[in-house]
Each structure stands twice: as C-alpha cells, then as structure tokens.
Structure 1
Amino acid sequence: MTIQMSFMQRAVMPVFSVILFLATCSNAFAQLPPAFNNGRDYKVADDSRTRKYIAPVKIFWKSTENTGLIKNENHLLNQPIGQAILTNKQGFLVMKSTETEKPGILLDFGVNLHGGIQLVTGMIGSKDPVRVRIRLGESVTEAMSSIDTIHGATNDHAMRDFIVSLPWLGKLEIGNSGFRYARIDLVDPNKELLLKEANAILVYRDIPYLGSFKSNDERLNKIWDIGAYTVHMNMQEYLWDGIKRDRLVWVGDLHPEVSTISAVFGYNEVVPKSLDLIRDITPMPEWMNGISTYSMWWIIIHRDWYLHYGDKTYLKEQENYLKLLTRHMASRVEGNKEKLDGTRFLDWPSSENPEAIHAGLQSMLIWAFDASEEIYTVLDNPEMAKEAREMAAKLRTYRPDHAGSKQAASLMSLTGIMDPTKANRQVIAKDGVADFSTFYGYYMLEAKAKAGDYQGAIENIREYWGAMMDLGATTFWEDFNIDWLENAARIDDFVPDDKVDVHASYGGYSYDKLRHNLSHGWASGPTAWLTKHVLGVHVLESGSKTILIDPHLGDLDWVEGTFPTPDGLLYIRHEKQGDGSVKTKVSGPENVNIVYSK
C-alpha cells in the first residue's frame, strides 16, 4: 500500500512546544524530533536499543557573564562527533574557577529524553582530572535544584545529581535517567575546563511510528504525538512506568502503555518480555507488584494482546499461571462481593477513598474474569471458561456505591454494573476534568465513549492533557490536577517570584514535588483513545483480521491516520460533509476484513 506523502508530512514545530516522532508510511522510516536532528547513531551491542548522541539546542543559563570565567559556550551546540582532537583552536567552551567563584552552565536538549551525558574534553593546561557536578532535570527547576528534603529532588532509581572527574583530552559517558536539562558546574577552586562537547546520550528503541493521527485540530494532533513519544521513551530493556523514577515493570501502568503501543508501533517484543518477567517473579498466591488489581491488569493485557496479534502459542504459555490466578481471585470473593487482600489500589488520587476502591475492585474482578473467559475459550478450556463466566455473573449481581469517584464510576460503567449514561452524567462529566488523573483518565475517556459522549471526551483531552502541554510538557506526567494551572509558571523556564512552581510545589504520595515523574507511560491514554474512537479503529477478530471502522469526529472537520496490523498498515480518512454526514475512505491489506458501523 502506498500513501500519499502529503498525508504524512508534518510541519516542523519549535522544540519548546512538542516533539514529533512520525513516519512516512511508504517506507516505515521514523523521523526523530527536530531537537534530535543534530546527532549521530550508535548501536548498543547485545541490546535491542540504539544510542543517539544529541547536541544541546540551547545554552539556557550560565552563572556569569564574565568571559574570564565562561566563554565560547555556544560551541557546545555544534554537531557532535564524540572524539577528542589534538587542537584547541576550535573555540571550545572554557570554564575557569577561582577561590570564590565556581561557574556553571545549564544545557537544554529541547525535549525530555531517556539516557545520559557524554562529555568530551580538550587539552586542559593541567593534565590532572577536573571535577564537575552534573545535575539532570525534567524541568528547569529540577536541573537547578540540589538533593534535599524541601523540594523533593532525589537520586532515587536514577542518579540525577552527582560529581565526576573529567580526563585530560578524553571522554566520559555517565548517567542513566530521564531529563531535558543538564547543569554542569566546576567543583574545585582554581581549575580550568576545556569542553569540546556536552551531548545527551539518547537511549531508545529505533522503531518506526507506524500508526498515526492527524486532524484539523493541531492541539489534538500534538497530544497524540506526545502520548506516543512518552511510551516510546519508556520502552527500554523492559516496559517501564517512568524514565526518571520507578523505572520498573508496574503492570497497571502497562495497560494504557500497551494500548498505545498497539496503536502506534504494532507488535514489539518489549511487551511479552515484560509480561513474562512479572509473571516469573510473582509466584502464586502473591499479587503482581503486591497489588491485586495489577494481577488483573495482566490478564486483561493478555486478552488485548492476543486480539491484536493472534499468537495462540504465546497465549497457551500463560494457561497454567492463569488457572492459578483466576482461582486465587475467586478465593477472594465472599458471596457476590470482593474481599481482596494485598494492596487495595486503583490509582493514587483515589487511594484515600475506601468505598471507591471497593467499587473499583469489584469492577476489576468482573473485567478480569470476562477477559479470562475469552482466553480460556480461545485455549479450548471449557471448564475454566465456565468458572470465569460464572464468577463474573455472580459479581455483577452486586452494585457497590461509587462514592462520587470518577475512577470507580468509570470502571463500573465499563463492566456493566452501572448505567453508562448515568455514570457519565452524574459522576464522570461533573465539573469537567476536575478529579481526572493521568492513569485512570484513560478509563474515564473510555466510559464517556460507552455513554456516547465522544464530544465531551475530546474536550476533556484538549483541556486536561493539553494543559500539561501548555505548561511546557514534551512528555506526559505521572499525575496532574487541573487546579495546578492557577497562576502556574511553565516547567521549561525559570519561575518568576509571583508564579507557582508546578514541579516543585505539587504532587503527592510517591511523587511529591521534584520527585514527580514528568514522563510516565500510564498518561498516554489519549493516543490510544483517539485512534480507537475518533479515527474509529476497533479490532474485532484475533490477529486484527477483522476491524470495525466506527468514527466519532465530534467537532472535527476531518481526521486521517494509519493503524498497524500484523498484515500491514491500514489507512483511514474521514471527512465531515455539509449535511453532517461523514465520508470515509479506508485502504489496507487485502486479508484484513473491514466492517463499518451503521
């Protein structure tokens, strides 16, 4: 299939707004964001990832205008080659400290990324190593902050504040974190540093962006792109939740991430690799990550993964563990009510509402037993399919109180124990995006779709996820509250005295203040949602062999995009006509059956 290039071309946007990782569908070549064009590639041995060395796009700050202490700093913006050379005639950055002044600079790489720092030095006057302090940050504030107990800056999981010694006429590569900014300071007095290069080491999977989404609304387009890129940065050795902190396989986080992967990248080995890891380190009767719902998400992800890719052999490998897990779940039901042990958790913002958690756990059990029944049916295991079906039916006879929680009401709507229209009108749509969360916001959007409120969901995406973008986000965050917008400063600049520092002031639970991840995969829900409900792609048959096209444009004039299937790319375009009807064009692999909504 050949797609017109004009469809896939994107306007180059400033690096301060949003990155683009898009592909030409005809050759499936991923174009890196503009901030990454000034770089070179290097394959990592025995790894499915690639390194790309990125020069900074801007010297964001320097501690002094005194050229006797700092000069030629813009030399660092040149194309990196990663090689020391036997000359200092190139105008390298010179930093000199005195007894009283230890100069520093702040580098901006244009976009939040995963990796480390490469420093290449020149022929310093003394051959003794020169110590520098490096501080990495997802925001300007974080990069300028020290480890303390006031603003929450930490070295948890990944070192972001450390001192290293640089060699004479050599190179040092160090660091493994998530950051956009890097601050470099001289540590000792009366030292001179000649710095030829200071590059970010972007570590990522060099994979094409097969799926795409474009409409007449650039705000939605950017949100789709940022969600895709956020997950891409978390596709490391395993599928992580965050590139700075908690670089772990959290199964709840995986569900929106995997939904985004299927919409953007298609099959990728990081998903089964991560699902298998968490299974293998969680012997029954333990819950994955210690959280009962996270074991349920594991089941739901496997059902969805099989639906998209149709690998029955891989699904069969899960059967023995699935039997133990579903029976363990059944043992935590008394009558028709959940009595789950382990950590009782939906998401952080709902964690202090026990009634909502109870309603959510009841719903999650239903969802997991429904998914189990589907898996057992595929695996020709009628006995276990019957057990799962009966458990789901029993649990549906009880209707818990949602306790005013949008999280709980969404899950109850999605699993059929609350009327979708009522759930949306009385709870989810109440006060707009108030009480949304970046994780469960995805299921709030899904519940709104089930209620037929597609326009409301589109507006929620613009307002809630768009607000993070308005504050300077190039990746979506671990959490966000719309109230944080009040008098807020952007994260990509210094904070004026009369403004609120969002990164240093907000967040809670495990993500207090600067500990807060600003690149968190569970926040990517709008990317998957826009592909599914606006572009209208619904997978009906395993292996994506049958796909329903059911678009809901809301107030959009047109939308077009691509969707990856195991048999190739599907291309879709919808145009709203003068009478309000929608004209649809779909093309793709011949052996993919396309059906249309009535």
Structure 2
Amino acid sequence: MFLVMKKLLFSFSLIFLLNSVFAQQSPTWIWYPGDFEIWLSNEMQNRRTERETYFPPFWRMDSHYVLVEFHKEFELSSPEEITIAAEGKYNVKVNGKMLPGMPSKVALNAGKQKINIKVYNQQTVPALFVEGKQVTTDKDWKVTFEDKEWIDETGKASSQSGTIYVNAGTWNFNSLDKKPSAFKLPTRLEQAVNSSKIGEGTLIDFGKNTFGFLTLHILKGNGKVGIYYGESKEEALDTNHGETLDVLNVNLPQAKDSTLVNSKGFQYVYVVPNGNVAFDKVSMQYEYLPVEDRGFFKSSDEQMNRIWEVSKYTMELTSREFYIDGIKRDRWIWSGDAYQSYAMNYYLGFDSETVKRTILALRGKEPTMTHINTIMDYTFYWFLSIYDYYQYSGDKEFIALIYPRMKTLMDFVMKRRNKDGLLEGLAGDWVFIDWAEGLSKKGEVSFEQLLFTRSLETMALCADILGQQEDKAAFTKEASLMRDKFMDYYWNQNKQAFVHSRVDGQQTDDVTRYTNMFAIFFDYLNPQQQAGVKKNVLLSDEVQKIMTPYMRFYELEALCVLGEQDEVFQQMKDYWGGMLQLGATTFWEEYNPAKSGIDHLSMYGRPYGKSLCHSWGASPIYLLGKYYLGVKPTSPGYQTYVVEPHLASMNWMEGKVPTPNGDINLHVTKNKVKIKADTGVGNLKLKSKKRPTSKQGTFLDIGDQMYELKIEPNRSYEIDYLAI
C-alpha cells in the first residue's frame, strides 16, 4: 500500500511539474497593434527610387504612437525575478509603485502582481520584452497610447481614466536579441546565367525576373560604375530611359566584393564602369519572404502547369514584408493589388501573418482623411478583405482587433454620400476601377455603388461575428437600402445588364464589364439576369475588352461561377500563355495581345513603365485552386468546405489546398477521384454519367447528374465515377 501511494504521489508530482513547464509562456516582443506594421510599411514604401531620385508614396503616411503603456496582472505562486528590455526609454511600476531608473531586472513577490511599463520611442516602435518563469510578455498584455492617468490636488491618482485598452500586437520576435526594429528579410546567393560585353559595359542576365541586392566581385579602382536595371534586355541597355539605376562611387586601391545597399527588381543588369574601375563578375543576394510551400497544382496540361509555376513565382516575388504591387517600380502597398494577393495566398502558402500585416498597414491611423491609397474602390476592397480572411482562417481575434477601425472608416465613407445616398468622386478621390482606355469616371459610377453595398454587408457580418447586435441591425438596414437603390438605378431591363454610371440622375448608355461580373459572384442576380449578363456582357465582343490581369481575375471568376470552366481554362491558356510565348518569366501588369515588340514594355507614357512582375498577374493560382480543384470553405476556417473538381480539357490533375489546420489533397482523373483532408468536414460534389461509388461512403443523388459524398478528416477516399 505504501509503495502504491508513493508511486501515485510521484505521478501527481510529475504531472504538476509537466503542467508547470508547459504552462510557462515563451516571451515575445509586444507593441501597440498596427504600429509595427505601419512603421515597417513606411520603411519599405520609402525605398522606391526612379532613376536615382527618391520617390515616396503620394498619400498620407502615418507614424507609430511614440509613447505606449503596457500592463498585465499576474497571480504568482512563488517569488521570481524578471528581465525587462524595451525599444526606447521606459519606466516600471509594480502594483502602482514606480521603480527607480530603467531596471533590467525586477524581483517580484508571490501573490497578485500588476506590472505597468511605459515605453517612449520617437524613431522606431515602442516595444517591450519581459521574461520570467511566470511573467512574460505575450498577446494578452493590455496596451494603450494614452492612459489618461492624472493626479489630483491631494496627490491621489485617478481611479477611472476612461482609457481604451487593446491586446498587444505580436509577430515572431521571440527572443531578447530579436528586436522588431532590426527586422530584415533573409537573403541567399544567386548567380547570373549569362554575361556578355556590349559597348562600354557588360550585360548580365539572371535568367528570370528576380529581386535583391547586386554584388560586384573583386571590384577595384577609382571612378564610378553605372548600373542599369531592366526587366527586359531593352530596358537595361537603354541607359537614358530605364526605370531604375544606381551610380556607385568607387575608391578601392585593394580589390573587394561590394554589395549595393538598395534592393532592386530586374532580370538584366547593364554595368558600365568609368575611370579605371574594374570588376570580375556580378552576383546577387536574392531577398525573399520565408513562406512554407503548401499549395500545389499539377495536371496533364503542361502549358497550364507552366502557368501555375510562373504564377507561383510571381507571387513569391511580390510577397515581401507586405503584399506589394510589383518589384521594379512602385513597391508600394496598394489595397486593390493586395486584395488579390490575399486570395492567391489562401491557395498557396496560407500565410495569415502577412495578410494581417498588410491589412493593418493599409488602414493607418485616425483620423480618417482620405480613402485608402486615395482610391474609393480600394477602400471597399479593404472591407471585403477582412471578411474573406475570416472565412478562410476562422480568426475571430483579428476581427475583434480591426472592427473599431472598420467602423471609423465606414463612418468616413457614409459622410461622403451625396443627396441621393450615392458615392461619386469628390476632391482628392481617385476612382480607379481599372487601367482601360476611355473608361469614364464621371458621375455616380455603378461599380463604386456595388462595392459600397457589399462593404456595408461585410460590416453587418463582422458585427454579427462579434455579437454587436445594434451595429448588425444598423448596417443590415443600410446595406438593404443601398442594394435596392443599386438595382433600381443601374439595372437596364432592355440591355439585360447594369449600365456603367448615372449622370445628373439619369442612366448612361454605356455598359462595361466591371459591375456586371462582380454582381454575379456577389450573387446579386436572379437566373434570368445572370443569363442576360452572361450573353450581353461577358460573352459579348461589343463590350470593351479587359486588358489587365487585374480585372481578368474577376471576369474569369464570374464565368466560373456561371459554370464556364471549359471556356475559362482556354482563356487562361491564351492570355497567360500568350505572355509565356513572349518570354515572360513572371506575369505582367497589363497584357494586350494586339501589341507587338517593345510596345509590350511601355505604360504611363514611358517606354519601360510597365511592370513585368505584378502581383495581380498571379491569379491562376486562385482560379485553379477554387474552380478546378474546386476547393473552398463553406464555414470559417474550413470547419466545413466543398470540393467540386472540374477537369476542363485536362485528362488528370492533382493538387493540395492549404487550410489553417492542415491540407486537402486531391487527385482527379476522368473516372477516379482520390481525396484526403486533414481537417474539417467536406462535401465532395461530382458530376457523373453514373452514380459514383466508394468503399468509404455512399453518394447522394442531388439531381442533374450531380452527386455528393461527405468527407471526414484524416480519412482517405477513393471514388469511381464517369466524368461528363
């Protein structure tokens, strides 16, 4: 009996010890949420140059809060000593008592302990790191930029300050020496594939578009080196008109390797030394965002496989500290570009942290004075991106963080409505929509009203997620009123389509694709209206064609929603395949098949103004994942999902779609499907000439030769069917 009791006591002690070990939190650097993201975005977006000239963004740039208060209460089971580090000057209070100096070590007694630390930093983000056995910094610390604590004439501190506290911001800075202000993307060595003497210089070819820091090896002499970058050979060799260049001053009696401090996007580099400067060869340090390679697609169609791979590489290059537009020119965070990057990311790396960083950076600080990027439609894409993120990730915590900023931005939008409750461009507003020749932005453009309506619906959905019932009711009412106006003011029964705009209270005659295709995948149309839009707009040669991958993304999605996957598959091969035939190693900002030669390189009135590596060019990743592999969540975070594969002209395809808690693996031929999912409950939908069969379950006949099978997690399914 004694031995049994002794063993039990030992077991309980071991369990308690293990629980204590696992309960101990690893410390991390914390800050006011959004501040690191804003500071880092400022650092990144102010690196742009145009022919050696500093070229900053043209919208308002905000800054971090310079003084931040952090606090948290602890119940300590035993005394301990904590280590404190901060980026900035700081003070410490324990249970309301100020400690002298800026202590790096503080002894705490057992029992209830409240730690308050204020950090000031004008240059970089005020950040805090606390490490102890029981007391550590984590996302549950509370933080504010104004604690409103005052002391009255008796010396008593205020007991109710009315301060709004929020949970601290974090990322992955999980050690004392890994400071947020020192963050840099990693690099790796890459070599050029070819080098040739041309004129007075050397043309270096890296084989494909790339991004990073150039290194000149065994550089020596006295003079200058002109370095001319190009996404094309023509651009690099045109020293007078290329978009980006560096001029390196050299004074090196002893040879050394020299790596430039400015990163650039390029495939070709033309290096022209002056004076007695010489070098041996040129390499580069490729800069990248480390993201796990999760999403995957491969098929019997080799051209489509190549399109997927180039799309993936395009996405890799434009995924940096944030999702940017392109690697050569702007390197800024544009909300419309980022919105598409988020969608592609959900079918590739499922990198939630970069999505959240980008959303926070775009929002900036109060007070709201302009639309995001000054563009009305880009404000609405920002709203839409938040609910999409929740649907894919299930991250309610982020919705709670961002919701107050959603409300203030929506308040800004609502105050800009005209007497009819509609939106039109006011002073300082850019109504963008797309790069399209002759596209009117005059009056009340239907596309803006449509995005506004959807944004109001998004507000109601997010309010419901957070249990904000009054907000939900208010936004639901506004969305309903706006939707009725939109349908009444812009649907033209004779044209069986939405018109482009209203001017002076009257519909214009012009019909464009934008509003019509968005209304389809927003599910705003009845079957008769869908058929009208499909015939009179999407499949009509009389409506102005779309020439940017940006809006092709949405046009092809609308066609997929209408069941036109076969047509879309061929259009992807023609459009993105057309760029490949012209030698593209990444996908472009704009592609017009009617152009030829160097005309493909020009844009904005400049011979090389076009970006040949643009984030919105990578949309086949999303289309292939969602509408061919056919995987999409039907409840937040893939708790439930649907898989509806479509082979189009492929004999077979296989792929992997990432989710927050594992992957969904799929292999499809014309008579067999294999599927295995790590998470959630799925609904496999197959169109088959006969009822599909599987040893792992029974299909339900849902009509029109469609059948369904429930997919349980962590179980492999093999299905026999006959594709139509």
Flag whether TM exceeds 0.5 (same fold): yes
Instruction: Pick closer, same or farther for the CA change 1:317–1:272 going to 2, 3 Å.
Output: same
2:250 to 165, 169, 172: 165
SS of 2:621's partner is: helix
Cα distance per residue 1:149-193 (max 9 Å; x no partner): xxxx334xxxx24344263321211131110111112223xx362
Q: Which residue of 2 aligns with 1:471?
A: 582
Asked if residue 379 in structure 1 is aligned to residue 466 in structure 2, the reply is: yes
**What is the match of residue 248 of structure 1?**
332
* TM-fit CA distance, 1:268: 3.9
User: How far apart are 1:370 and its partner, in Å?
Assistant: 2.3
Give, in whole Å, the separation in 2 of the partners of 1:356 and 1:213. Answer: 44
Q: CA deviation at 1:252?
A: 0.8
Identity %: 24
Match of 2:432 among 330, 342, 345: 345
Shift of 1:337: 3.7
Query: Match of 1:462?
Result: 573
Post-superposition CA distance 1:332-360 (Å, at most 9, x none)? 44546434532112122267323698121
Is the aligned partner of 1:508 residue 2:604?
Answer: yes
Structure 2 counterpart of 1:523:
617
1:317 match? 401
1:372 positional shift: 2.0
Residue of structure 2 equivalent to 1:89 = none
Match of 1:63 among 198, 203, 224: 198
* Residue 384 (structure 1) shift: 1.8
Are 1:135 and 1:143, in contact at CA under 8 Å, matched by a contact in 2?
A: yes
Equivalent-residue separation in structure 1 for 2:645 and 2:633 (angstroms): 13
Q: Distance in 1 between matches of 2:456 and 2:646?
A: 30
* CA distance in 2: counterparts of 1:350 and 1:305, whole angstroms: 33
Q: Following the alignment from structure 2 to structure 1, what is the Cα–Cα distance between the partners of residues 585 and 474?
A: 46
Which is greater in Rg?
Answer: 2
CA shift for structure 1 position 263:
0.8
**Alignment counterpart, residue 584 of structure 1, candidates 657, 667, 673:** 673
Q: Structure 1 counterpart of 2:239, which letter? A: S
Query: Does 1:52 pair with 2:188?
Result: yes
Per the alignment, residue 155 of structure 2 pairs with: none
- Mean Cα deviation higher: 553-562 or 391-400: 391-400
Indicate the residue corresponding to 2:530 in structure 1. Answer: 420
Contact preservation (8 Å) 1:267, 1:309: no
Identify the range of structure 1 (160-169 vs 207-216) with the bigger mean alpha-carbon deviation. Answer: 160-169
**Unpaired runs of 5+ in structure 2?**
1-179, 491-498, 501-509, 686-706, 708-724
Alignment of 1:366-405 (within 5 A): 366-397=453-484, 398-399=486-487, 400=490, 401-402=499-500, 403-405=510-512
After superposition, where does 1:437-456 map in structure 2 within 5 Å? Answer: 437-456=548-567
SS in 2 for 1:274: helix
1:115 corresponds to: 212
Count matched residues: 478
Q: Is the 8 A contact 1:267 1:566 kept in 2?
A: no
Q: How does 1:201-216 map to 2 (within 5 A)?
A: 201-216=285-300
Q: TM-score, length-normalised on structure 1? A: 0.75
Q: Contact 2:224/2:247 (CA < 8 Å) preserved in 1?
A: no
Name the CA shift for 1:281/1:119 in 2 (closer, same or farther; >3 Å). Answer: farther
Cα deviations by residue, 1:92-130 (Å, 9 ceiling, x for unpaired) = xxxxxxxxxxx31111111101112011116x6xxx435
Aligned AA (2:296): S
Note the C-alpha offset of 1:219: 1.4
Give 1:37's aligned residue: none
Task: State the distance in 2 between where 1:361 and 1:239 align.
Answer: 24
The aligned residue for residue 106 of structure 1 is: 203
Q: For residue 391 of structure 1, report the CA deviation from its aligned partner.
A: 2.5
Distance 1:154 1:252 in 2: 23
Deviation at 1:503, TM superposition (A): 4.1
Secondary structure in 2 matching 1:482: coil
Q: For residue 439 of structure 1, give the secondary structure of its aligned residue in structure 2.
A: helix
Unaligned runs of 5+ in 1: 1-43, 65-102, 489-499, 578-582
**Change beyond 3 A, Cα 1:331–1:433:** closer
For 2:209 and 2:479, locate their aligned partners in 1 and report how far apart those are by CA, in whole Å. Answer: 42
Give the number of the structure whose residues are more often strand, by fraction: 2
1:3-38 deviation line (CA, Å, top 9, x unaligned): xxxxxxxxxxxxxxxxxxxxxxxxxxxxxxxxxxxx
Residues in 2 aligned to 1:532 and 1:465: alpha-carbon distance in whole angstroms: 18
Work out which of the residue numbers 369, 372, 375 in structure 2 matches 1:288.
Answer: 372
Q: Is the 8 A contact 1:146 1:161 kept in 2?
A: no
* Aligned-partner residue type, residue 286 of structure 2: L
The more displaced of 224-233 and 278-287 is 278-287
By relative contact order (CA 8 Å, sep 6+), the higher-ranking structure is 1
Post-superposition CA distance 1:368-402 (Å, at most 9, x none): 12222221111111222222222222222233213
Q: Which of residues 500, 508, 514 is equivalent to 1:407?
A: 514
SS at match of 1:179: strand
1:541 to 635, 649, 661: 635
Deviates more, 1:544-553 or 1:252-261: 544-553
The CA deviation string for residues 407-446 of structure 1, in whole angstroms up to 9 with x for no partner, is 2321233334553332232222234994332111111011
In 2, the alpha carbon distance for the partners of 1:166 and 1:394 equals: 69
Which structure 2 residues correspond to residues 177-188 of structure 1 after superposition, within 5 A? 177-188=264-275
Letter in 1 for 2:185: R
Secondary structure at the residue paired with 2:204? strand
Q: Which amino acid aligns with 1:556?
A: M
* CA distance in structure 1 between the aligned counterparts of 2:531 and 2:393, rounded to whole angstroms: 32
Paired residue secondary structure (1:169): strand
